[in-house]
Structure 1
């Protein structure tokens, strides 16, 4: 049988002669039975409108999962994270944020604490305290020098790098500079801790620690520190601390040449008159000085 007879027969395109030949072939009877069987099979009804609707629904459901649902979850997670951060920040702000007051060279500050205690802060100094927790914990951190008038009440503590001062209600002065720590009690009683030592200072007594060593106990003859009356007083203090104080009070850059900065100085200088202060420092020590603009050189003449 020619190969194209089957195709023509299925398409009803055979001529009478070709059809007669095809019917005589061995394959014809098999093909005839297949065609008859296939004609008896009925295909399922196909509703185009319903099919399109189902397809649209599936697409919409799939679209909702990708665009609507997941972003919502993501936004909720972001919102929760923001809320957590905000809450933590608010808790930190309201519970741990401290008050800090700082003075520069040639500057002082008066501070009223929450219990009406007063702090007079000297030049180049800083105090830090928590206003929120002050009523049940009167703690203050000091860098530099300050005079305290403490209202009576619970324990009042001043913490410095050089030591810690504890009182209930009194007036005292604390100076804490690099290598220098001094506490003077003007009223009441203070407890001073430095290193492994603890000393009690009644009114009229002062304690000084220089380079970690306890230097003196002094009797105070004044009712407040000298710097509050416009002077800086020193008794057997290494010269380097005197010059540092001059620099802080007048905001003048100090340099030295041929000087022994460990030599002890006893005297005072004015906090309001620069020229007088220079003379008060230089004359007792026999040193010279050159003042130019905002700089001063203290020096010793070579022999």
Structure 2
């Protein structure tokens, strides 16, 4: 009965009495959830009538006997129903992963299942499995984020350049193209980079630029500067500074006759565009030209 009811239910062919009996069955709730999840996904078009016609033509060519098609139609309907359920189950179970991202000039706060907090900087993304969170507290990060980790099992942050592991602490991770930095503000952080593990106690940082570990200064604040609407750098190649300006202000940056590898030390505002431009250009001895949503940085001796 369940097979017949399932196929007829999926095709909206149950009468009122049959529908009531089917709704009272133990399996109905599960079928309903899977069907709802399946509706969010597009499946390849399958024309049952066209398939039946092709089968009928094939049988006619082979024999002049009259063939009863109803059993085949019933079989195809049940097979289609099973396909829908299997496909729906797969997408339903695999859509439990959560992904959160930010655009340019946007920050976002995320509360994890264990009450840990993540604050995303601009142009960043995290993903994690809510279903498996109690078994494995793991976050995948692209960009930059500040973490306030609730005490509990091992908590890991995975990036393309390295992995950060803690039990309960506060730390910041930035992973951009060619740039990787981890700063511990509270507790103890373990950083694995190129297969080598480094322990970071509170008040220390780890930094790698273009795949090479470089000396990093200790933080002098309780939280990252970007959480106070500023971006701070010390002896960082200018190209990374300009990239961060672009992310924070959503302004396209072009350069002319500028050495992107020259080191920059300073701070710029994440909310005041004019002040940020002055803060970048003055210490770097470069000029800028702002037009609409684009800015050109160029050397003083550039034509």
TM-score (norm: length of structure 2): 0.75
1:273-297 residue CA offsets vs partner (Å, 9 max, x unmatched):
1100000000001100000000000
* 1:257 aligns to 2:267 (yes or no): no
1:164: Cα distance to partner?
0.7
Residues 13-28 of structure 1: pairs in structure 2 closer than 5 A:
none
8 Å CA contact 2:206–2:215 kept in 1: the answer is yes
- Secondary structure of the equivalent of 1:278? helix
1:76-98 residue CA offsets vs partner (Å, 9 max, x unmatched):
24423431442343144224531
8 Å CA contact 2:285–2:300 kept in 1: the answer is no
1:216: Cα distance to partner?
1.4
* Alpha-carbon distance in 1 for matches of 2:166, 2:72: 57
8 Å CA contact 2:235–2:263 kept in 1: the answer is yes
Answer with 81-90 or 177-186: which moved more: 81-90
Residue of structure 1 equivalent to 2:191: 192
1:179-238 residue CA offsets vs partner (Å, 9 max, x unmatched):
000000001111111112211111111001000000114322211100001110001000
Give structure 1 stretches of 5+ with no counterpart.
1-61
Residue of structure 2 equivalent to 1:246: 245
* 1:99 aligns to 2:98 (yes or no): yes
* Alpha-carbon distance in 2 for matches of 1:279, 1:246: 12
Residues 1-303 of structure 1: pairs in structure 2 closer than 5 A:
66-67=67-68, 70-95=69-94, 97-302=96-301
* Alpha-carbon distance in 2 for matches of 1:115, 1:88: 31
- Secondary structure of the equivalent of 1:219? coil
- Secondary structure of the equivalent of 2:126? strand
* Alpha-carbon distance in 2 for matches of 1:65, 1:220: 86
Give structure 2 stretches of 5+ with no counterpart.
1-62
8 Å CA contact 1:96–1:130 kept in 2: the answer is no
- Secondary structure of the equivalent of 1:193? strand
Residue of structure 1 equivalent to 2:12: none
1:59-110 residue CA offsets vs partner (Å, 9 max, x unmatched):
xxx999613xx43234324423431442343144224531111111111111
Which structure's CA Rg is the greater one? 1
1:144: Cα distance to partner?
0.4
* Alpha-carbon distance in 2 for matches of 1:63, 1:152: 76
Answer with 94-103 or 143-152: which moved more: 94-103
8 Å CA contact 2:106–2:123 kept in 1: the answer is yes
Residue of structure 2 equivalent to 1:50: none
Residue of structure 2 equivalent to 1:6: none
8 Å CA contact 2:122–2:248 kept in 1: the answer is yes
Answer with 199-208 or 215-224: which moved more: 215-224
* Alpha-carbon distance in 2 for matches of 1:259, 1:217: 25
8 Å CA contact 1:95–1:132 kept in 2: the answer is no
8 Å CA contact 2:149–2:169 kept in 1: the answer is yes
8 Å CA contact 2:246–2:253 kept in 1: the answer is yes
* Alpha-carbon distance in 2 for matches of 1:173, 1:65: 75
* Alpha-carbon distance in 2 for matches of 1:63, 1:99: 58
* Alpha-carbon distance in 2 for matches of 1:65, 1:79: 24
1:253-277 residue CA offsets vs partner (Å, 9 max, x unmatched):
0000010000000110011111000
* Alpha-carbon distance in 2 for matches of 1:96, 1:153: 26
Residue of structure 2 equivalent to 1:16: none
